[in-house]
Amino acid sequence: MQMKFTKMQGLGNDYVYVNCLKEKVESPSEMARRVSDRHFGVGSDGLILICPSECADFEMKMYNADGSRGEMCGNGIRCVGKYVYDYGLTDQTEISVETLGGIKHLSLTVEEGKVALVKVDMGSPIFVPEQIPVKVEGDHAVNVPISVDGDEYRMTCVSMGNPHAVVYLDDIQNMEIEKIGPKFEHHPCFPNRVNTEFARVLDRETVEMRVWERGSGETLACGTGACAVAVASMVNGLTEDCVTVQLLGGNLKIEWDREKNVVYMTGPATVVFDGELYE
Ligand SMILES: N[C@@H](CCC[C@H](N)C(=O)O)C(=O)O
């Protein structure tokens, strides 16, 4: 078996990308576990397949490092935008990408023939508990209590195509995310597990966060997670409707156009290297 791939990263959230217009991946979950291994594999937070689509320009299929499928990936979809343009799969700078979290629209900013920045229409945030899904009382999960491992927290849950729980803490730099993250991920109130963002509001236009991703553990950044933190901060009245989200790997600009009910994410995408995998 031989398979060409490209390692890419968006703010340090790194995936192995395979062009499935040319390559065939028989068992994506198994391949995700294999390539993600940082000692015996390529080393990544997961695997992303770029596939043909019947309802959009391309389809993105994303797999976490543990082999589970994610509905959406914010950093990943920016890298897909860069890949399809830079590697000549399209010459368009406005493209649509099918995901399990819906069809997303991307605007590519090109500098010196290469994509430098990608703005993504991330669609509408969902606060309805059954649609996230999260088991809580009431018709939305904004600032609701949760007991985790004997400690009481308050969380705001939102789906950005995939499930997120946002928790505000006074000190996110020194928290034990490897200990607390998995307890949220596997908490019985999240039937499909959850991505958890630990956030702190710095001012009305800036929020910092760390993320424990479902299926991949702590990553340097999460695009859907940054959108979740931004809209959670907005609905809780903590920030304006346009914020900079500071992640371990860098910053994302997130805007919520409440009239259209659309969230926009703008950030970079980078090629690390091209490679080939053998048996
Ligand atoms: N890193 C991603 C999210 C990847 C999927 C997530 N772990 C899930 O299972 O939902 C992003 O940038 O959004």
Summarised one tens digit per residue, pLDDT across range 232-243 is: 999 999 999 999
SS3 label, residue 105: strand
Of the pLDDT bands very low, low, confident and very high (cuts 50, 70, 90), residue 1 is: confident
Q: Which residues contact 197 (CB under 8 A, 6 or more apart)?
A: 164, 165, 166, 167, 209, 210, 211, 222, 225, 226, 228, 229, 232
224 ligand 1 Cβ < 6 A: yes
User: Residues 53, 14: one domain?
Assistant: yes
How many Å lie between the centroid of ligand 1 and the Cα of residue 90? 25
159-183 residue pLDDT tens: 999 999 999 999 999 999 999 999 9
Neighbours of 189 (CB within 10 A): 19
More confident residue, 279 or 256: 256
Query: Is there a catalytic annotation at residue 20?
Result: no
Nearest CA to ligand 1 atom 8: 70
- Average pLDDT on 50-66 reads 98
70 ligand 1 Cβ < 6 A: yes
The answer to whether residue 204 scores a pLDDT higher than 90 is yes
User: Residues 153, 107: one domain?
Assistant: no
Q: Respond yes or no on whether ipTM tops 0.85.
A: yes
- Average pLDDT on 63-86 reads 98
249 ligand 1 Cβ < 6 A: no
- Structural domain boundaries, residue 84: 2-121+267-278
- Average pLDDT on 53-69 reads 98
User: Residues 146, 49: one domain?
Assistant: no
> Relative to the CA of 72, which ligand 1 atom is closest?
5
How many folded domains does the chain comprise? 2
Euclidean distance between the first and the last CA atom of the chain, given in angstroms as a whole number: 5
Q: Amino acid letter at 212?
A: W
Q: Amino acid letter at 254?
A: I
31-56 residue pLDDT tens: 999 999 999 999 999 999 999 999 99
User: Residues 256, 144: one domain?
Assistant: yes
Q: What is this structure's pTM? A: 0.98
Query: Is there a catalytic annotation at residue 242?
Result: no
Q: What is the CATH number of the domain that holds 179?
A: 3.10.310.10
216 ligand 1 Cβ < 6 A: yes
Catalytic residue among 73, 79, 189, 227: 73
Angle between helices 74-86 and 223-235 (to 10 degrees): 130
The answer to whether residue 279 scores a pLDDT higher than 90 is no
